[in-house]
Chain A
Amino acid sequence: MRRLAVVLALAACVTSAVTFAAGVAWAQDGGEGLQTTLTHEGEPVPGVTITVYTEGGALVGAAATDEDGHWTLPVPGSGTYRVELDESTLPEGLSVVGGNVREPFVRPGSVGGLLFGLTTGEAPAQPAPAPPGGEAPPDGEAPPGEEVAPEEEIPEDPEQEIEVVAGPNPWDRVLSHVYSGIHFGLIIALAALGLSLVFGTMGLINFSHGELVTFGAFAVLVLNVTGLPLLGPDFTVHLLIAIPIALVLAVAFGYLQDRYFWGWLRRRGTGVIAMMIISIGVALLLRHLYLYQFGPSRIPYSQYVVQAPQRIGPLHVPMKTLITDAIALVVLVGVASALVLTRFGKAIRAVADNPALAAASGINVDRIIRLVWAVGTGLAALAGIFLAMHESATYLMGFQMLLLIFAGVVVGGVGTAFGAIVGSLIVGVLIQVSTLWVPSELKYVVALAVLIVVLLVRPQGLLGRRARIG
């Protein structure tokens, strides 16, 4: 009896510890926000309304300062926000120093502090002080005559957020890293499948594949957040409607790209190496078109940005992660089995094996490559959409992922569909699990090291056939 009581007490302890730890971890994990405290001559100023907008002008939320002058508001994610203090709600005779608008930048996982200085009488017209707790948005402008080397325009990439949180048990920690690795691996796999198929059928290492990933993310962004310019800027649709439309657009984009560009190059007899460098040009062009149109900041979608995590066993996972993973898995298995089972799949594999022989046996090689481009772009776009759902869309997201996609493709075996899937999952899990031992900013280095080692030891990859590689 006493033993049972001890066990029960212990169990209660552990459970509460788990809950507590998980709660703390979640607060640290998903909690971007803004905060400030309004005081005047040491006295708190309550009841002042402060409103937060996204950079694009969409309303995030509004709140009033409490009895102690404190004000906090959660924001949907990292990014630059526009914060307006409603001066009409200030007590009589008070005004804000340096204007009532601040534009802070909120870092991932942190709460940005704002500074509103209050003064009696007319506020002096001085420029707004730099908001503390945040960084001034990077201005890409240099005075004329100042040299701006083109290679200096790459901003540092923010850390990937891990959305899965585990309990205090060390094995749970490993498990959570494995799961977030699988989650990331599935996204890489979606993109890698297209790259691998394109390489298999036309021998092109497509350096612009990352920009196809970004295409999907931005297509949804246009439909969901920024609005269609043709139908008026306010015409936006729900994310669940935007995604299918974006996928159709991506498939069409891939099809047309091959129909009018890559297919044309093939007919002109452009060499594979030349096409590879052309793809670098395409990547440069598309990437900066995105930058031109959407600017350098991270933009979240309108729906499903912040979700309370669900508890599954020892893991705490947001619902959207589970659903996107399930969709990714179904799509990957679907495409892979279509490659094995359908006539088109057989034709794709035949072209990958030997284009001349496939053409001789009556397969329209050009049409098959076009199909591969359409499907591959659709898959890449899906990867971009899922990635942007979890960490917002930026013009660099695909480019930053490109080497990981390469890693997935090479580890699994270039030109094989199953290889790309398996390789990507390995790379994804490796990246996330490696953060248990190596600093997280070096996790991509682990993936790149694996890529190089596989190229050296087994260039055909895990599932590839031995072909001429050197």
Chain B
Amino acid sequence: MNLDLVLTQTLSQALGPGVVVFALAAIGLNVQFGYTGLLNFGQAAFAGVGAYGMAMTISTVMPRCVASTNWPCSGLSGVSPQVTFWLSVVVGLVGALLLALLLGVSTLRLRADYLAIATVAAAEALRRVVRSVELRDWTGGTEGVRGFAETFRDYGYAIGEAFLPPLRPGENLRIGPLFFTATSLWVMIVGWFLVALCLLLVWLAMRSPWGRVLRAIREDEDAVRSLGKSAFSYKIQSLVLGGMIGALAGFIQALRLGNVNPDQYHTTFTFYIYAVLILGGAARVFGPVVGAMLFWGLYNFLNQLLRQVAALDVLPEGLLTTTKVDPLVFVLLGAGIIALLIFRPQGIFGDRREISLDVR
């Protein structure tokens, strides 16, 4: 058994681009659920809107628009890939904003658990629409969209040529046993930069009077209302902010995989984000990041370890084969979520007084 491989894999995954996706999505959810107490079960949809906004703008909408001669598109023939890329980022963020407004205006007047059902249903409906055959020309149906990450990658190469050798094409970075290719290193740099930016934003926001109102809504919405604050408007703002951070997670997911696919944004994604958030500690600035590193690290650790054990052939026949590793890891994750919520609902860093989970 190669324990070294297991540990290096775990460590490189816990720093790699995958964890950034979880961290960003969980930071967004932290604003909504951790600080405001909104049970948004549609975070997968926000990430999906970001990812699809970027992918479709670059790969399907703009090329077709440039090819057509109708009014809004006719002047676009000379648009550079760089402009298209930044436009796609704007489209993704605006898409998340619109989704938040649409969901929020309609459902935020509902009780917390009804909100959960409404958002989970909306996210699933959106996913099914995106993967339908009817929209295949635009969304790629079940296969999704690819071929949109070149411009982003070229930015990385450009910076590499200027002053960061490991980012040059074909290069890679080795730190001790860790190994990152140039592309994933570039995604990591941008991703962790976004994480830092969002953490700063959340930290500043939650210290402000605005953030105090959000926490007050979590504790007692009626009290907030009786003090003359519009709880509804604050909840919308919280949903929008968290959703747009979720869209950033979608960008990173799309760029790191080089494709978007409706099934990446299944409801289970939202469930994992909840696990990440609660693991790290809800309503804590660093909670989501710690939670994401632990969740993704633990997932990879268990996966690698069990694969190695399965390859050893020491267990009785049929108990652990390589095809059974994945289910078993999820069984353990499920058990972990249960145990965490029962015995330490505030997570690792959480403050028991600052958690909406205990309100009865």
List residues of A whose CB falls within 8 A of some B CB: 139-141, 144-145, 147-154, 156, 205, 265, 268-274, 276-278, 280-289, 291-292, 295, 403, 406-407, 410, 439, 441-442, 444-445, 448-449, 451-452, 455-456, 459, 468-470
Contact = CB atoms under 8 A, between A and B. Distances in A.
Contacts of B114: 410, 455, 459, 469-470
Given A406-B120, A459-B114, 19 more contacts: A145-B9, A151-B264, A151-B272, A273-B112, A273-B357, A276-B116, A280-B271, A281-B337, A284-B331, A289-B327, A407-B121, A439-B132, A444-B124, A448-B122, A451-B117, A452-B118, A455-B114, A469-B114, A470-B110
Interface of B: 5, 9, 13, 16, 18, 39, 44, 106-107, 109-114, 116-118, 120-122, 124-125, 128-129, 131-134, 142, 257, 261, 263-266, 268-269, 271-272, 274-275, 278, 299, 303-304, 307, 322-324, 326-328, 330-331, 333-338, 341-342, 345, 356-360
B220 to A, nearest CB: 14
Nearest to B112: A273
A278 B338 contact: yes
22 contacts: A144-B307, A150-B299, A151-B44, A151-B266, A151-B272, A152-B263, A154-B263, A156-B142, A205-B113, A271-B358, A277-B278, A281-B334, A281-B336, A284-B331, A284-B333, A285-B331, A406-B117, A406-B120, A439-B132, A441-B128, A448-B122, A456-B106
> Shortest 5 CB-CB distances between A and B: which pairs?
A285-B334, A281-B337, A284-B334, A288-B330, A292-B327
Contacts of B128: 441-442, 444-445, 448
Contacts of A265: 342
B135 to A, nearest CB: 10
A439 B117 CA distance: 24
A403 B326 contact: no
B9 A151 contact: no
Contacts of A153: 326
Given A281-B335, A410-B117, A445-B129, A452 B112 contact: no
B181 to A, nearest CB: 12
B124 A403 contact: yes
Contacts of B341: 270, 274, 277-278, 281
A150 B39 contact: no
Given A151-B264, A154-B268, A441-B128, A144 B5 contact: yes
Given A205-B116, A273-B357, A455-B110, A280 B124 contact: no
B253 to A, nearest CB: 8
A285 B109 contact: no
A139 B323 CA distance: 8
Choose among A151, A269, A274, A406 the residue with the greatest number of B CB atoms under 10 Å from its CB: A151
Contacts of B16: 147
B331 A289 contact: yes
Nearest to B142: A156
A140 B263 contact: no
Nearest to B16: A147
B117 A455 contact: yes
Nearest to B123: A448
Contacts of B121: 403, 406-407, 448, 451-452
Contacts of B134: 439, 442
Contacts of B271: 280, 284
Contacts of B117: 205, 406, 410, 451, 455
B125 A449 contact: yes
Contacts of B345: 270, 274
B174 to A, nearest CB: 15
B327 A291 contact: yes
A439 B9 contact: no
Contacts of A145: 9
A268 B342 contact: yes
B272 A448 contact: no
A449 B128 CA distance: 12
Contacts of B269: 151
Nearest to B326: A140
A147 B257 CA distance: 10
Contacts of A452: 106-107, 118, 121-122, 125
B316 to A, nearest CB: 12
Choose among B16, B39, B111, B113 the residue with the greatest number of A CB atoms under 10 Å from its CB: B113
Contacts of B132: 439, 441-442
Contact of B268 (A150, A273, A444, A470): A150
A292 B265 contact: no
A272 B271 CA distance: 17
A294 B126 CA distance: 31
B20 to A, nearest CB: 12
A292 B330 CA distance: 10
Nearest to B311: A144
A292 B324 contact: yes
B211 to A, nearest CB: 21
Choose among A147, A156, A403 the residue with the greatest number of B CB atoms under 10 Å from its CB: A147
A222 B342 CA distance: 32
A271 B268 contact: no
Contacts of B272: 150-151
Contacts of B257: 149
Choose among B110, B121, B358 the residue with the greatest number of A CB atoms under 10 Å from its CB: B121
A144 B325 CA distance: 12
Contacts of A139: 323
Choose among B261, B307, B360 the residue with the greatest number of A CB atoms under 10 Å from its CB: B360
A139 B328 CA distance: 16
B270 to A, nearest CB: 9
A278 B337 contact: yes
A280 B109 contact: no
Given A284-B330, A448-B125, A456 B356 contact: no
Nearest to A153: B326
Contacts of A282: 334, 338
Nearest to B319: A292
B77 to A, nearest CB: 35
Given A154-B263, A288-B331, A469 B110 contact: yes
Nearest to B320: A292
A101 to B, nearest CB: 19
B133 A470 contact: no
B112 A278 contact: no
B233 to A, nearest CB: 15
Nearest to B274: A277
Contacts of A444: 124-125, 128
A441 B263 CA distance: 15
Contacts of A277: 274, 278, 337, 341, 357
Contacts of B333: 150, 284
Nearest to B103: A452
A205 B121 CA distance: 14
Contacts of A141: 322-323
Contacts of B124: 403, 444, 448
Nearest to B358: A271
Contacts of B304: 144
B251 to A, nearest CB: 15
A406 B120 CA distance: 10
A289 B16 CA distance: 29
Contacts of B5: 144
Nearest to A285: B334
A280 B335 CA distance: 10
